[in-house]
Structure formats: C-alpha cells, structure tokens
Amino acid sequence: MRQIYAYMDTIQIKDKTFAVSIREEDILKEVSRVAADINRDLAGKNPLFLSVLNGSFMFTADLMKRITIPCEISFVKLASYQGDASTGVVKEMIGLNEDITGRTVVIVEDIVDTGLTMQQLLESLHTRHPQEVHIATLLVKPDKLKVNLNIEYAAMKIPNDFIVGYGLDYDGFGRNYKDIYTVINQ
Ligand code: 5GP
C-alpha cells in the first residue's frame, strides 16, 4: 500500500523524475484568494483577462470560475524569435484581436521566473494604450526575478526548482496533472 502511494506521488517524464510538491486542493485555496482580491479591486472596471497560452490554461479556468465581476477573457500566445545582440530572444504576442485602448487588462500567466517574458508582454501591451495593466500569475520564483515588476496577484511563491503539472510542461508533457510536481533529479 505504501509503495503504491509512493508511486502515485512521483512521475517520470523523459529523463526526469518529479515528486508532488503542491496539491490541487492547496493550489485552489490560493487561486480562490487571488480571485477574491481581483473581484474586490477591479469591480466596476469590466476587466479584460488575457490568458497567456499554453501554460496558463488550467490556472485560467480555475481563476475565471471564481471571478464574479463582469469581465471578458481572451487568449494570446507568445511566439519566440531571435532578436539582435542586445535583446536576445524576443517574444512577440500573437492572437490579440480586441481593442484594449482605455481598458483594464489583467495578464494571466503560469509562472514568472526571470520576469523577462512578462516585461516584454507589458511593453507590447502598452503600445496599444490600455488604461491599466495588472499581473496575475499562478507562480513566482522570487529569487530568480531580474526585473522590477509589480506583481499584484500571485497565487504562490516557489523556490528555484523546475516544476511541471497544472498546465506547466517539460518538453510538451506533464501539463495534464492536477497537482504541481518538482524535479528531483536533473
Ligand atoms: P521568464 O521570462 O520569467 O524567465 O520565464 C517565464 C517562462 O519560463 C514561463 O512562462 C514558463 O514557460 C517558463 N518557465 C519558467 N520556470 C519554469 C518551470 O519551473 N517549469 C516550467 N514548466 N516552465 C517554466
């Protein structure tokens, strides 16, 4: 019995083994807290939630089920391409068809690691003249943050380790797990 339980708590994806680190029920408690904060802060602002695919699909679904104020939701993707020497890899936002001029926008992300992706996303959104842009992220790795970001809505802070599950992948796999797993061999 013990062995079966241990088996269920670890997963193997390709060359890496992961152990469960945050259970679905604990994730949902934090998602509910973030939703309550957004419901309180953005009431009357008809926010447009911008879910950044693929990683945020599960967080987006659970968050939006708990948003009770009038709002809209749209989905975008980031396409990576090689910039110049100073910019390195540039991530361009694709798929945003809404006019966000004068709107209250909430970016819904899976994880902020160095913060460079979020910074590029913010710059790209600001060229479209929104009224205000807020950040909602499932996870932050505070020790890795390289840029100054005002992350108002963060469900959980985690250490520097690589994680999968609850929408996040390793080489395309692992997004389907309801819990979050941390790598235990690199
Ligand atoms: P940043 O630009 O903040 O360094 O990186 C953000 C992106 O890196 C996330 O949107 C995600 O795709 C990826 N990422 C960062 N840390 C992890 C992690 O621990 N696990 C997974 N699966 N992706 C991560």
Q: Is residue 7 part of a domain?
A: no
Distance separating alpha carbons of residues 155 and 139, to the nearest angstrom: 6
- Which residue has the least CA distance to atom 17 on ligand 1? 162
Q: Is residue 45 part of a domain?
A: yes
Interval between CA 63 and ligand 1 midpoint (Å)? 19
Q: Of ligand 1's atoms, which has the minimum distance to the CA of residue 109?
A: 10
Domain count, the chain: 1
Query: In which domain, by residue range, is 117 found?
Result: 24-154
Q: Is 113 a catalytic residue?
A: yes
Whether pTM > 0.85 for this model: the answer is yes
Q: Is residue 100 part of a domain?
A: yes
Catalytic residue among 37, 113, 161, 171: 113
Interval between CA 172 and ligand 1 midpoint (Å)? 13
pLDDT per residue as tens digits for the range 100-125: 999 999 999 999 999 999 999 999 99
CATH code: domain of residue 133: 3.40.50.2020
Q: Residues with beta carbon inside 6 Å of ligand 1?
A: 55, 110-118, 162-164, 168-170
Distance separating alpha carbons of residues 64 and 107, to the nearest angstrom: 12
Q: Is residue 164 part of a domain?
A: no
pLDDT per residue as tens digits for the range 28-67: 999 999 999 999 999 999 999 999 999 999 999 999 999 9
Q: Is residue 31 part of a domain?
A: yes
Average pLDDT, the chain: 94
How do 153-157 and 132-140 pair as beta strands? parallel
